Structure 1
Amino acid sequence: MASLSACNATELTPLLGSAANATAAAEYICTRFTNTSDSFTNITYAIDNTYLLFSAYLVFAMQLGFAMLCAGSVRAKNTMNIMLTNVLDAAAGGLSYYIFGFAFAFGVPSNGFIGKHHFGLKKVPNEDYDYSSFLYQWAFAIAAAGITSGSIAERTQFVAYLIYSSFLTGFVYPIVSHWVWSSDGWASASRTSGSLLFGSGAIDFAGSGVVHMVGGIAGLWGALIEGPRIGRFDRSGRSVALRGHSGSLVVLGTFLLWFGWYGFNPGSFLKILKSYDTSNTYYGQWSAVGRTAVTTTLAGCTAGLTTLFSRRLLVGHWNVTDVCNGLLGGLAAITSGCAVVEPWAAIVCGFIAAWVLIGFNKLAEKLKYDDPLEAAQLHGGCGAWGLLFTGLFAKQQYVHEVYAIGRPYGLFLGGGGKLFAAQIIQILVIIGWVSATMGPLFYIMMKLKLLRVSREDEMAGMDMTRHGGFAYVYHDEDDGSSHPPAGFTTRRIEPSGSGPTTINGSTNNVV
């Protein structure tokens, strides 16, 4: 296409001989070549944008997966509450990311810390971004918020979700994505101005750190500050399982998330019409897209199977919920290096990710940390392992194709320690940034009594006290009844400073 657009009538005229109309013929031919070149360029843009939009739709479908996974993992009396928070993540996150988030993340030109252009999508589309870019990145932002909602499920006030979801998607997450994914970001492997971190930049292709660690660490602080659910640990400190009410929803949510991951990881190429080697017409970025889908699949499958057999040895039975969480841990881990590792390496990634999740779950029990969906352990722990894995196993050829020739690659494959060092720095700064922003936010909300619901509401279930009624008739093991406690009514405002009062022998909540 470049040769077509470079057609020059002056240079072409002598080649047409001394005919009187040679100049006119040359100009006509060049005009036709230029028009053809423009048509190819337009087609390329159309195909790449269609590919990105399709990937955005897949990633957005993960919200349904999160909703089903969360719903199945909590007790039935909180089903409406957790599904509503997933809707809120998308809705509130959409507005905050439109107004602020996209500009903070990708508003180039800017400095290495934060973007400063395109607020409210001003001057979009342009040579760097189209509307499809915003949609795709928004789907990533709300995925991070969805991870956090799982950690603080079953005990969090609705207003707290509004506050943290808007703050996370509008400010906290966009800053991290700017650092790692923007062409101006200080840690970005795609940086086009200034020096690269350790001459490499941090490779986090689809977001093991940017998305999963951010959501997981935010959820960790929320759950720590709120404390465990009532009944999660007995008086002697022993762990008591508060099982989710529907394994079917957990499996459905897992498959929906797995399906969406094929937009999450392969879609992060952003473009598909790009050739890597002109001598191999069959090989190009479309091949790398397919390879990324394969590594994603193998890591998830390996982690799921590893969890299945390891949990069988540890607890003595086959548990579908554990397998689903293990599979998702493998997918979270491979997300960083999915585009730059061999399929065999993805199997190693998934195998270790399963043990990382099991280890963090054991640690959480000892520390009396309560996370209903294991979100901090799964997304935070396995996400961190994914970054380290990339620094160890990234293949030279793939790094050069996806990023640039001459870049450092995996330590175990002879590429030196520069990439691995950059990965460690990314882990540390994400932990520090999210802790410094989300930790104080949750602490302030807790002090203002905006974070955790009352003991009475938590025991009764937020569906009845906050959302107008139960999702369906249910039976929870911890209450021994299929009926709501007498006298509990829906609160109209939250938080309420008043406690329950007794009228004619029944308990009522005063608004």
Structure 2
Amino acid sequence: MEASWEASVTDSINTIYLLFSAYLVFVMQLGFAMLCAGSVQAKNAMNIMLTNVVDAVVGSISYYLFGFAFAFGDGSASNPFIGTSFFALKDIPSSTYDYSYFLYQWAFAIAVAGITSGSIAERTQFSAYLVFSFFLTGFVYPIVAHWVWSSSGWLSPSSSDLLFGSGAIDFAGSGVVHLVGGIAGLWGSLIEGPRAGRFDAFGKPVLMRGHNATLVVLGTFLLWFGWFGFNPGSFDKILVSYPTTSDQGNWTAIGRTAVTTTLAGSTAGLVTLFGRRLLVGHWDALDVCNGLLGGFVAITSGCSVVDPWAAIICGFVSAWVLIGLNIAALKLRFDDPLEATQLHGGCGAWGLIFTGLFAKEEFVIQAYDSGESGVSRPYGLFMGGGWALLGAQVVEVLAIVGWVSATMGPLFYALHKLNILRISVEEELAGLDISSHGGYAYTGHAEESRPRFYADYVRLQDQS
């Protein structure tokens, strides 16, 4: 009786911890909303806020109906989440479906659509958001989540048949979440093309700054706060004791994960601050915010399996990855208003490679074998662990890029051909708020939001 009571208390505490982590991850939606709103022009503020809401509500339905089963099902039993026997939740006890685990995974799923929305902001028809958000959260992302996070996934480090004897370590989703969202955004941006006026007749970039730095900074801090659910929360159970020790368990690894997350983000923000100061000649709060987030994205893969000093290296490199990709994007006339492709895609890919280089064997065993003694696993190449883990990490990068390209690329192209992807130039110049949502987000902002050349443009169009 006493053992049963202790087990019940343990389950209750683990459930509370998981739900609290889910709430933190959900707060990131507010962070995305503030970041996006501040990063776009004032004439598109209402539109970008609405798309963030749509990502959450549409993603909820699609993930409930299809996504969760695709991610964690094996197709052999009934799944009450969709009311059909076609899917099963192999990783969830069939007698007591764990709704808290569903909620936690749902919060991750809707974050992916938010990443992609930023890449195609300020020029996309609202109906296109509805389509791609449903498809991305209900099908594309869950398949990748199954590969890496389901115990039956072919890339999973918890699989009975480990790839290269290792499996790919993507603890909280540098690849599963961020690289997926970044590559989807890449295809959306490429197919839509740059915003009107982003590049002049000679191909040189024209500055189109966001309208509210305060919202960007607020969104960044909200995302930082939410990341403490994103990374440490990915330990599904806090009360797990390692069998060979009396003073270690998941609670020690959770604390270390929070520290590595903080150090990587802070280092990336600091390096971006000084790096951009050297390149552009002034301090820029917005660049620092994106640099900070790039560090968080990169450490998300290996946050539980690296030392704090390695997290500093992760953040340092991620800052230069982001700076370099932003420079390349301008040269290639690639327009991503939120730098989501460069930030989530580029830093997400670096995070996977970083884990293959710096993962520590002791921590890998803690995270994936509950600290069992006598267990040997491949670990980081630079830590003496050989090439197996790094090879699995590279395979994950290639698999995600291939899968998302093969699914989201054709979807965006089909929307383009059906003329339901991009708005007209006239609507874009006027702003999505007035053309699609009946008014601007800010009172008395109608005239100020229009580009000064808008009236001349319309007159020329009428004459032609």
- TM-score tier (shorter): over 0.9
SS at match of 1:403: helix
Q: Which has the higher contact order (CA 8 A, sep 6+)?
A: 2
Name the residue aligned to 1:384. 349
Alignment of 1:186-225 (within 5 A): 186-191=154-159, 193=160, 195-225=161-191
Q: Residues 104-161 of structure 1: CA distance to partner in whole angstroms, max 9, x if unpaired?
A: 0011477xxxx99565277887358500011000100000000000000000000000
Q: Secondary structure at the match of 2:82?
A: helix
Structure 1 residue identity aligned to 2:42: A
The range that moved more, 223-232 or 38-47, is 38-47
In structure 2, the residue matched to 1:479 is 451
Q: What corresponds to 2:121 in structure 1?
A: 153
Deviation at 1:278, TM superposition (A): 4.8
Superposed, which structure 2 residues align to 1:106-505 within 5 Å?
Answer: 106-108=72-74, 119-120=81-82, 126=93, 129-191=97-159, 193=160, 195-281=161-247, 283-404=248-369, 405-472=375-442, 473-474=444-445, 479-480=451-452
The question of whether the paired residues in 2 share the 8 Å contact of 1:460 and 1:485 is answered with no
Cα distance between partner residues in 2 of 1:100 and 1:479: 43
Give the letter aligned to residue 479 of structure 1. Answer: P
Q: How has the CA–CA distance of structure 1 residues 104 and 116 changed in structure 2, closer, same or farther, with 3 Å as cutoff? A: farther
Q: SS of 1:263's equivalent?
A: helix
Q: Specify the SS of the correspondent of 1:340.
A: coil
Cα distance, 1:291 vs. partner?
Answer: 0.5
CA contact (8 A) 1:206 1:268 kept: yes
Counterpart amino acid of 2:348? G
Counterpart residue type for residue 240 of structure 1: V
Displacement of 1:407 in angstroms is 1.2
Q: Is the 8 A contact 1:103 1:121 kept in 2?
A: no
Measured against aligned partners, the alpha-carbon deviations of 1:340-390 in whole angstroms (never above 9, x if no partner) come to 000000000000000000010011011100000000000000000000000
Q: CA deviation at 1:480?
A: 3.9
- Verify the 8 A CA contact 2:172 2:230 in the aligned structure 1: yes
Is contact 1:298–1:343 with CA below 8 Å preserved after alignment?
yes
Name the residue aligned to 1:31: none
The one-letter code matched in structure 2 to 1:151 is: S
How far the C-alpha of 1:53 sits from its partner, in A, is: 0.3
- AA matched with 1:126: P
User: Aligned pairs, how many?
Assistant: 449
Deviations 1:197-251 (A, max 9, x none): 0000000000000000000000000000000000000000001111000000000
Bigger CA radius of gyration? 1
User: d(CA) in 2 for partners of 1:142 and 1:338?
Assistant: 21
Deviation at 1:276, TM superposition (A): 1.7
* Structure 1 residue aligned with 2:28: 62
Conserved 8 A contact 2:43-2:450: no
Q: Deviations over 1:374-413 (max 9, x none)?
A: 0000000000000000000000100011113311000000
CA distance in 1, matches of 2:61, 2:82: 9
Aligned to 2:10: 44
Q: Provide the rounded CA distance (Å) in 2 between the counterparts of 1:72 and 1:476.
A: 17
**Structure 1 regions of 5+ residues with no counterpart?**
1-34, 489-499
Q: Deviation at 1:190? A: 1.2
Q: Distance in 1 between matches of 2:64 and 2:394?
A: 31
Report the CA distance shift for 1:52/1:416 in structure 2 as closer, same or farther (over 3 A). same
Whether the aligned pair in 2 keeps the contact of 1:391 and 1:423 (CA below 8 Å) is yes
Does the 8 A contact of 2:149 with 2:156 survive in 1? yes
CA distance in 1: counterparts of 2:10 and 2:99, whole angstroms: 16
Conserved? CA contact 1:104–1:117, under 8 Å: no
State how far apart, in whole Å, the 2-side matches of 1:401 and 1:129 are. Answer: 26
The aligned residue for residue 497 of structure 1 is none
On the 8 A contact 2:112/2:177 being kept in 1, the answer is: yes
Paired residue type of 1:225? I
Partner of 2:59: helix, strand, or coil?
A: helix
Question: What do residues 6-56 of structure 1 show as CA deviations (whole Å, max 9, x unaligned)?
Answer: xxxxxxxxxxxxxxxxxxxxxxxxxxxxx1111111111111111000000
Q: Secondary structure at the match of 1:120?
A: coil
TM score, norm. by length of structure 2: 0.93
- Cα distance in 1, alignment partners of residues 387 and 220 from structure 2: 35
The aligned amino acid for 1:190 is S
Aligned to 1:290, the other structure's residue is in SS state helix
Q: Give, as a single letter, the amino acid of the residue that structure 2 aligns with 1:425.
A: V
- Which consecutive unaligned segments of at least 5 residues does structure 2 have? 370-374
Maintained 8 Å contact 1:205/1:337:
yes
